[in-house]
Amino acid sequence: MATAMPEHVVPMFARLSALPRDDDRFGYEVKWDGVRGIAYVRDGRLRLESRNLKEVTIRYPEIGPMADALAGHAAVLDGEVVAFDEQGRPSFERLQHRMHLTGSAAIARLARQTPVIYMVFDLLWLDGALLMGEPYVERRERLEALALEGPAWRTPGYHSGDGASLLEASRRQGLEGIVAKRLDSTYEPGRRGGSWLKVKNSRRQELVIGGWVPGEGRRRDRIGALLVGFYEGDELRWAGKVGTGFDDRELERLGRLLASRERSTSPFSGRQPERAARFVEPDLVAEVEFTEWTDRDMLRHSSYKGLRDDNRALDVVLEKPA
């Protein structure tokens, strides 16, 4: 029996983990350092939504012609929008230039300067058939039969078993890590369970900006470091400072954004930052790279990678390997 095309699907998520022990029960994919996108294709047109259900089609016009590549099929696809650096590695920093644009002229210009590729890794619905209840291997087989390989879209492969080898290969190539997916797993929208696992070479996490402290020297009147945290229930916990990873352009942009969110009281519960702190409404989410968490859940050696607008601040929690 045919089913209607689903709308506004919240993607399934992976849980931070070490490599699974039952290696042969998993398929392994490269973890792309981009932004998630669910693509809805029907009647020769493509609509792209972020993981928080915002339509972002206009930001990535080069992906639109993938609708023609589907040759009359109607489909709902899951994938990642990725920008690459000069060495061919995924670059979240480069993608920043595309993520926050709205003007059509600026988007067209940056589409030429910083092109993106939609990496398709799952098929959720096809021509009236709902596939979310089918095993991962069967969804992948149906996806690969569509042969989606084009100038701005690809269907990267996966490997059954031997996750350690793919993880090591990703480390040698300077990639973020891999994703392990149970071969028999169904697609569960919005869920972060044990069927999908992300195994990282570098430590990365989304964190909420709750304030900032002024810098020193030439940054005395500008942001010296961001004050970031994560939620435990409805309480925002301070997790430390992020003082590197900014260029002058980004410091100016952050300065404008934080000035418009200024508040007199701390948004953090419990442990507090230094007295020089300036606080803001905690609704901005930053991607942060770091070396480790301390025993008190504080960041060590952190670096700013960019802002995200595809996740609510209240959904940002501490991630540690299971």
Residues carrying an active site annotation: 31
Single out the residue of 14, 5, 159 nearest to residue 75, CA to CA. 5
The burial of 286, by beta-carbon neighbours within 10 Å (0-12 exposed, 13-18 middle, 19 or more buried), is given as: buried
Query: Token match 């596939």: residue?
Result: 131
Per DSSP, the residues of 201-252 read SSEEEEEEEEEEEE-SGGGTTSEEEEEEEEEETTEEEEEEEE-SS--HHHHH
Q: Name the strand (E) or helix (H) holding 93.
A: helix 92-99
Query: Token match 């926050």: residue?
Result: 100
Task: Report the distance separating Cα 74 and Cα 52, nearest Å.
Answer: 23
Compute the half-sphere exposure of residue 207: CA atoms within 13 Å on the CB side of its CA. 29
Task: Report the distance separating Cα 179 and Cα 167, nearest Å.
Answer: 9
Task: Report the distance separating Cα 126 and Cα 185, nearest Å.
Answer: 18
Single out the residue of 241, 242, 252, 262 nearest to residue 219, CA to CA. 252
94 by DSSP, 3-state: which?
helix
